[in-house]
Amino acid sequence: MLKNSWYKIELTHEQYSEGIHMAVKRSFENNYHHIGKGVAIFISNVLNDSYNLYISPSDNRYIQAIIEDFKAIPCSPPMEDVHLLTGDSDIKIL
The whole-number pLDDT of residue 83 equals 93
Q: Return all residues near 75 (Cβ < 8 A) that are at least 6 apart.
A: 5, 6, 7, 8, 54
Q: Cα separation of 52 and 36, whole Å?
A: 23
Domain ranges of the chain: 6-87
What pLDDT, in 10s, does the model give residues 40-93? Answer: 999 997 777 789 999 999 888 889 999 999 999 999 999 878 999 999 999 888
